[in-house]
Every structure is written in C-alpha cells, then in structure tokens.
Structure 1
Amino acid sequence: MMNLFCFCGAKENVIEMPVDKMALDDVDTFSLGDGSLCDHYRARWTYYGDKTALVDHVTGDLLTYSELLETVSQLAGALSAIGVTARQRVALHADNSMQSVLALLALEFLNATTVACKTSFTVREMVYQCTAADVEFIITDKACYNVVLQSLDQLPMVRKVVVANMGSPATDLRIAATMEDLLKRRACFRVPDDVDPSEDEVLIVFTSGTTGLPKGVLHTHSGFIAQFRITGPSGSNVIRSTDVCFQWGPLSHISGNLSLQLALNVGATSIIGDVKRDLRDCVRICDTHRVTFLIAMPVVLKAMIDLLKINPGGCSTLKTVLVGGGVVSVSWSKEFLSLLNLDCYRIVFGMSESLLVCATPDQEKWITSIGLPMPGVEMKIVDSEGNALSPNEKGEIAIRAPCNMKGYDKNPEATSETIVNGWLMTGDCGYVDEQGVYFILERIKQMIKCMDNQLAPAELEDFLISSHESIKEVAIIGLPDDKVGEAPAAYVVLKDEVEPSDELRKQIADMVKEEFSVYKHLYGGVFFAKELPKTDSGKFAKTDLKKLILEGNMEIF
C-alpha cells in the first residue's frame, strides 16, 4: 500500500504517514539504502528539520528542510493531479530559481523522469530533444516559454505545459498551469511503492553532440544514491553539512544538477542563482550570502580570477572550491589559490555518463592531476584493444562505478560501445603514475595527429595562457595538412588592451617552437579572434570552431 501525504495548505493540517527518522547523533553516519530518491530525501530532510535548505538569491525566498519536504510533496501531488505519472518523461526547460528546483525535486518524488533541456535551445533543438526523449509534459519558465510554445506544433505527444515564475495568470490556452497555481493547490501525494531503483530513470541529460547527434544519458535512483555514498562523509567528503553552496550551474547541465543534489543530501544550504548572463554576479552572490562552497567550470574560475584582481578581498568566506568540466590550467589554479584563503581546493573528474568519480586531495601539489579514484570507484588506462596499460603509458581512461549511467536512451549500439564488460569508456586520453594518480590529457577525438605523433591541445593551451601575458583565451585545433597530417593551429583571444599584430603572431609561434618538440609546433598558424565558440558549460566548442574555420565562416585576424 502506498504512503499518503495530504496537503491542505498549512503545516498544521498536514496528515502524513510517519517517516523513519534515523535517530543518530551524527547525520554523517546515515546508512544509504537502495531505495528511491523520494525515500532517501524524506528521511534526510526530516532529520535536518529547521536548518535552511534553499535560498533564492533573486526573490529572497527561503525554505528550511522541513518546509522543503512539505512543499515538494505538495507540488508532487499537484503535478500528479494534472496528469504527471511515474516513469513519464517531463522536460525541465527553465533557468535556476526556487520554482525550477522545486519542480525537479517533485518529479523525483513522483518517480517521473526529468529530461534536462538547455534554456539556450532554439525551436529546432527543443523539438529534437523532446522528440528523442518521448517527452509528454514540459515545465518551462516565463523567460523561456516562447520557444516551447513555438515548438508545440511539432510536438504532438506533449500533453501539457507548466510555466514557472509567470508572475501573473496564464492567458495562453496552451499553458495548463503556472507553478504559482500548483504551489497553492491542495493536493495529496502518494509516495510510490513500486520504484525499481536500479532500473527506473530519474534523469536524462543529453551529451553535447561532439561525436554525432546528442545522446540521452540515463541515470537511475540507485546511481544518484551511489553518488551520495561515494562523495559523502564516509566517502571522499567533498561537501559538508555546514557549507553554504552557491548553485550557479544550470540544472540542465549534469554539474549543476549534481551540485544541488549533493548539498541536499548532506543538509547544506544552497543559494540558488544564475550567472550565465554576467559572471560578475558570481562574486557578488558569494559575498552577499557568505558562500563557503563552489563547484566551478574552468571558464568561471578564470572569470573569478579577473574579478578578484579588481576587487581584492571578494569571496572572503569561500573555503572549498571544486573545479572540473574540462582540463584545468595549472597557472589558473595557482593564481586562484594566491587570491583566496581556501581550506580546500580540489580538481574533480566526472562526466555526464559517470557523475563524479575522481578527485585530488586538498593539496596544491596535486593540481597537475585529476587525483585518485573516489571510494567505490575503479579506474584504469586501456589501449585501443581494451588491454590495461602500465603506469605512465597513455591510453583511454575507463571507469567502473555504481554511479555510472544505465546507458544511452534507445541507443543500444552506442551503449555497448561505451560500456564494455561493465567498464565505461570515457573517450578521454590520460595516464596513471606509479602512485595511482590519474592525469588527463585531452578528449581522444580532439587529440591532434601531427607527423604521426599524438599531441594534446591542452598542453599547448596551458603553456600559452601561463606564459604570455597578452593572451586571454586560446584554443588549439588540428587542420588538415598534406605534409604533417594535422597541423596544430592556435586561435587566440587577446586581452582588451592588446591589439593583434604580425609581430605578436610570430612571438607566439616562436615560443611554442622553443619549448616543444617539432611535432607540436604551430604549423597551422596563429590567428586572432574576438571570441571563440563555447558550449553552455563554458568549454571550447572545438568541433564548431573547426567547422567555422574550414567553411570560412570564422572572423579571424
């Protein structure tokens, strides 16, 4: 029989089945079972009680963990009342806000599957992803819903649209409800009792499509709970219950989703914000809310370095920073550490298909690596035949972990190519040293083969960024060349006060020639650009860059 929550709009009128509250002195000793995320969070949030869970930076709205449990359960009931059911796929297409976070959590409680959609989507991209994922409901917000409404004619399977942060009653008949309406409704939430944690999909995130059309990555309840075990107090302890975490990463990206869930698991406080339009907000929000914990992409790290130089003393409460989502420049890491008094700075490694699996200890001497596998995670380096390689031999990083994806949605061929005998083939080139420390070089498909030698663009990029004071950003790609195979070419964004010149171009090429082997020289040339194409997560979109260059559509100097 299902547990039943009846919410009637006020806490004193809540009728609920008792939650098994774990009567432990130390919340860090919680045992992580194999149930659903709903069961897991109900127990945890009941224990955390009146501790602040969420703060919306824009609206100032605040929820304690007790209020969060009540509100999410009520919203789950309201969504159920308008037709959302278990295992149904629901697109979440909204900027970070209190309401979008509540929607995500309510879908988890219902055992529905959230399909993460980027807010930058065009109509074409929205139609592709919703069609590929068999989406039946869409939750969007006022800033994004025009794209959704323009997509509906091509999405006949979508039954209803809900809009968050509308601020006024919906007048378009295609909108079934606003989030404000749903949060006010009296609704009963039935806790699902038929969840299969290892099979039921709680989240679908799509790959960036660098190796073809974007693929839907399937994550289960068990995968997330395993991630809590791996990263929690009994694992690598990446986040603590006393932390105040800035949730800047978009929920449509695995890092933004995961950062939020890790905080909610341990009872930390999350500040909900969105810095995609202006990274200067990152420092302001950290100062306003006395943020102690941040997960950052390399592009955010660099932006914070530039801002902290202008505003010394900013982010003074920040104590723990995890950096991942791309190869992290050693020079950026050292510069960032010189500007802040951190207790813990860790390079982390993970991907859409694996969640977080590897991290450095909180010591500066490790920042050239991605560290050690987290507890419960196995890693190895393999050759093209899948054979394990010896220390310091370069090959593909493979991962075996309970938080690995279930597979790619409706794509058994790609799944079997990526998960081989239980090992997830990452597509990343790296090596492990004699101490078991892992190092990442580059995406295998972005490695450049020049003069029959493989070179990692990140090696040259890191050197140029750290060695030439005029360079703001640089991306190295390989261009087809009859003589050398692929000719390394540098595409450089200069700092604002620097003008491009032939002298500067020669200087950059000569620096590489003096410091690196002959096959790493910039035979493809040095080019200056006003900006470089990036993904939503801030990584260089090198496939797009190469296409623009080869088609002659890139403005370069």
Structure 2
Amino acid sequence: MNISQKLSMTAMEQPTKPAYIFQGNETSYQELEGAVTKFASSLKSLGYGKGDHIALIVGNTPHFIIGMYGALRIGATVIPVNPIYTVDEMGYILKNGDVKGIITLDLLLEKFEHMDAMLPDVQDYFIAETGAPIDWEGSSLSRKMKSFTKTVERGSLDLERPELDEEDTAVILYTSGTTGKPKGAMLTHKNLYSNASDVADYLQYTENDRVIAALPMFHVFCLTVSLNAPLMNGGTILIVPKFSPQDVFNIAASYKATVFAGVPTMYNYLLQTGKEHVDTFKDIRLCISGGASMPVALLTAFEKQFNVIISEGYGLSEASPVTCFNPLDRPRKPGSIGTSILNVENKVVDELGEEVNPGEVGELVVRGPNVMKGYYKLPEETAMTIREGWLYTGDMARMDDEGYFYIVDRKKDMILVGGYNVYPREVEEVLYQHDDVTEVAVVGAPDPDLGEAVISFVVSNNASLTEEELVRYCGEHLAKYKVPSKIEFMEELPKNTTGKILRKNLREKVVQ
C-alpha cells in the first residue's frame, strides 16, 4: 500500500466528502481522485514514468496535492521545493536532484527564465496559473511551458498503474541547509505511508476532522501531519496559502476546524494577536507543535488563553518525519516531546552508541519503517547518519522513567563555558518566563578566557526593559556559568519559512 493507492480507496468509500477547501471552494475526494488520475495519465503520455524526478514548487495550493499524488501514481519521485528560495538555492536543488519536470506557479516564471540554462535536463515546466500575466509565446521557455490545468484536463481516467515497490523512492526532501549545502533525504513509499498511517492513528484522525494546513506543504511536518495523515482517514484539509494569525482565526471559525499544527513561533504570533479571538478555537480538539522545542511558558500561556491542549511531538526530515508525540489517552507532560509512536523506536545513546540510563543526556537515535533509505548521491553522509539501522538525529535528549523523551538541545548548539556544558534551551526557558519577553534565542560566541560565552537575543514587549534587569533575572534562576554575558534586543529574530529561528544567522552576528 502507498499513499496514492490509499487516496483512491478513500475516494471510493466517501466520494462526496470534501478532501480540501481552498479559498472558499470545496473539492470532494472523488474530484481530487479524478484530477490526480488525469494528471498522472498526462504525465505518462508525455514520457514520464517510474524513477523520473519531478519538482513541486507551488506553495500551499491544490496544485501541490494534485501534482504530488499524480506524480507518485506513475512511480515518479517528487522533490518539493520552497518557492521563495533564490535562483542559486533553487538551482542547486534542481540540478543536484536531476529534475526532469517542474510544476510551478506563473508568479515564478521569471526565476526559471534565469535558471533554465543551468538545468539542461528539465524538459517541461507545468505552469499553475494564479492570474498573473504570462507571455506564453514570448517567454524564453515557451517551447517547454505547459498549462498545469490543461495538462490535467487532457488526461484520461483510464490509467494503467505501474507496479511500485515499497522501497522505491517516492520523495526527496532537501534539508534546510542551515549548515552547508542542503542534503536530499530519500523517502520511500513505505516511509511515507507508514508514518502518515501511524500519525493518523496516534492522533486519532477521523473523517470528521478538519485540519488547518498553515505550515508550508513543501516541509515534511505539514506534508505528513496536515496533508497525508488527514487524507488517510477521510479528513478535510483547510489550506492556508500563507500563515497569518488572522487567516488562521478566520478559517478556524468559518469551518469549525478541529486540528491545528504549527511551530512554536506560530503559536507565539497567535498568542500575541489573539486576545480578541479566545473563542475561535472552541472546536479545536487538538493543537500539535513540532519543528522546534516549545518553551513551557509559551505552551502554558497559549493553553490558558485558548482553552486547548497542545501536544508536542518530534520529528526530522530523515524520519518522514514523526518519531514521538505526547499521547492523547493520558495527561501530556509540558516540555516533553512525548513517547515513541507506534512502530517507531527511540532511544538515547552515548558517544559509543550505548543506551544511557533514564535521566541521562545523550544523542537521540531512531529506528523504524519511517527512516529514510539515505541521502541522494551522498553514500558517506548516509553511512555516518544511519548506523546499524539506527538514525542518528544530532539532537541531545533524555528519557524519564515512563518513556517520555525531552529534547535538551541540538548537539551542535551546545555551548562549552569553562569546561561546563550549557544547553541554550535551558537559558531560553528561563528568559521566556519573564513577563516582558516574547521571543528569545541563545547562542555561543568565542571567548578568550572561557572558550565560549552565552549570548542571548531577545524580543521584548516593553521598551524600557534593560539588559541589566534580564541578566539579574537570569542570575536568580541559573548557575553563574549559564547566565548570558551579553543580551541584545531585536525587533524580530531571523527565521526560515517554516518559522524556525536561524541560530546560524545569530552566530554570524556575534562573531562579526
């Protein structure tokens, strides 16, 4: 079984049920299934087939769902890409990923006109129209351009599907590239299906759920939790083109949304702007947080203001992505990423790969049907990351006596102050408890005496808050070596498109 086959089964079981709602328009499972089949048929007639690589650069739109499921149906490999990447960033992925066809928006056409010369293997650009003016004849890409909508319309519902092996590569997800060039994690049909199925079961998704997809669809968090998992059990996806607190509140109220998934910064924005929307989430049965550790102070404040429960989980692209979630059948533990989901094993190991005792800090490693088969064209990197069947995550964690895991910090983010380990998250948790702090990030900076120093970047809602006041506050709650030696105030912390704080940018700032 794969996710494209599962979609066909769901369409047969409940053809008239809305599969997704986009800009006020409902599309049923039967209509979605028809569009997917016809797009797959058209791709096949154009010479695409098993093993060909097709890039998906369309943002949060129905084109993403139709394009991905249609390509998977003929055995092609899908490469989702962030639409706001620069020409260089996008070009690297498309070239490294050996892309043959590109599904993209008319708004991005100019980028590809600049890029085409460096992409000799690209045969077709399937242009998804948003209403932007297009010079179909005058463009330098005119001979390669095809209307996405017309390509779907020309397809046939009579499609002979190829035999697909569960170990065939379905998706290549390029990591965000916060450290060096992005690496392409190869996820198989088995990886995608198992994780979507296990997440849907673990979070108790049903056909009555209406899931807000406000995270970027090209990111694995949204791909599995807000897209593939709901489609497993006949839920409805509420597509938000681009995250904004007001849009989320409006959609949640209009369609009585039941599930919201986001990263901590999204919850922070919703909290800061949502005092007039406290009843908007009254139908939400579950909020899911992932992508980065959620400060306990933020979690507590959000739950109190909106009267909802946030279930924090954990995942990474290389694991399709989910490995842990806080269980729904018993009280969740604030600050914890929960327990291992069904069919996935997590453990904490030392430098030799030996499991450590509960309460001890080590590296989190993962094993299960969701773990990637490797990095595309990077056998040495693959061998370093997957050892004896275990995926080494690079995250430092601990496990308690009840099997709940806690992320301490990224291994590479740990700060060494005079021989003592300082985990940024511990310092951040303290600062988040201060009433005047809305966002914070802690990094290490070179120090001639101590090796490294603790530097904190803070966004405050009080213009009169001083560095001295915060340093004194930290001194009341932290050991002396953990107290920031410098606190810099910022209007906004740098983030990537998924809302994750870019520590790399902050590190560069402190060494300038």
How many angstroms apart in 2 are the aligned matches of 1:313 and 1:75? 41
- TM-superposition CA deviations, 1:131-164 (whole Å, max 9, x none): 1111111111123232222211211111111111
- TM-superposition CA deviations, 1:236-272 (whole Å, max 9, x none): 2342221001111112111121120001111001111
1:188 Cα offset (Å): 5.4
8 Å CA contact 1:140–1:148 kept in 2: the answer is: no
Number of the residue aligned with 1:220: 188
Q: Which runs of 4+ in 1 moved over 4 A?
A: none
Compared CA separation, residues 153 and 189, structure 1 to 2 (3 A): farther
1:124 Cα offset (Å): 0.6
Q: Helix, strand or coil: the match of 2:446?
A: strand
Equivalent positions of 1:5-404 (< 5 A) are 35-56=1-22, 58=23, 60-167=24-131, 170-171=136-137, 172=139, 173-187=142-156, 190-198=159-167, 200-233=168-201, 236-258=202-224, 259-276=226-243, 278-342=244-308, 344-354=309-319, 355-362=321-328, 365-404=332-371
**Structure 2: which amino acid aligns with 1:282?**
V
- TM-superposition CA deviations, 1:521-547 (whole Å, max 9, x none): 112x11112222112111111112211
**Normalized against structure 2, the TM-score is what?**
0.94
**Structure 2: which amino acid aligns with 1:394?**
V
Compared CA separation, residues 232 and 471, structure 1 to 2 (3 A): closer
Bigger mean CA deviation after superposition, 401-410 or 514-523 = 514-523
8 Å CA contact 1:166–1:180 kept in 2: the answer is: no
1:93 Cα offset (Å): 0.8
When the two chains are superposed, the root-mean-square deviation of aligned CA atoms in Å is 1.7
Q: Helix, strand or coil: the match of 2:281?
A: coil
8 Å CA contact 2:430–2:477 kept in 1: the answer is: no
How many angstroms apart in 2 are the aligned matches of 1:356 and 1:426? 12
How many angstroms apart in 1 are the aligned matches of 2:124 and 2:443? 44
Number of the residue aligned with 1:463: 430
8 Å CA contact 1:319–1:341 kept in 2: the answer is: no
1:510 pairs, out of 472, 480, 494, with 472
Number of the residue aligned with 2:501: 540
How many angstroms apart in 1 are the aligned matches of 2:504 and 2:188? 30
Compared CA separation, residues 159 and 189, structure 1 to 2 (3 A): farther
Compared CA separation, residues 109 and 92, structure 1 to 2 (3 A): same
1:166 Cα offset (Å): 4.1
1:461 Cα offset (Å): 1.1
How many angstroms apart in 2 are the aligned matches of 1:151 and 1:61? 34
1:478 pairs, out of 439, 444, 452, with 444
1:186 Cα offset (Å): 4.0
Q: Helix, strand or coil: the match of 1:143?
A: helix
**Structure 2: which amino acid aligns with 1:46?**
M
1:378 Cα offset (Å): 1.0
**Normalized against structure 1, the TM-score is what?**
0.87
**Structure 2: which amino acid aligns with 1:539?**
K
2:403 pairs, out of 424, 436, 440, with 436
- TM-superposition CA deviations, 1:301-345 (whole Å, max 9, x none): 111112221333222222211111101111111111112233x53
Compared CA separation, residues 309 and 175, structure 1 to 2 (3 A): farther
**Structure 1: which amino acid aligns with 2:299?**
S
How many angstroms apart in 1 are the aligned matches of 2:182 and 2:236? 33
1:465 Cα offset (Å): 1.4
8 Å CA contact 2:174–2:182 kept in 1: the answer is: yes
Aligned residue pairs total 504
How many angstroms apart in 2 are the aligned matches of 1:364 and 1:484? 42
Q: Helix, strand or coil: the match of 1:144?
A: helix
Q: Helix, strand or coil: the match of 1:119?
A: coil
- TM-superposition CA deviations, 1:65-117 (whole Å, max 9, x none): 12221121011112222332221111111121122221111112121111111
How many angstroms apart in 2 are the aligned matches of 1:174 and 1:441? 53
8 Å CA contact 2:191–2:370 kept in 1: the answer is: yes
Compared CA separation, residues 238 and 151, structure 1 to 2 (3 A): farther
How many angstroms apart in 1 are the aligned matches of 2:158 and 2:115? 31
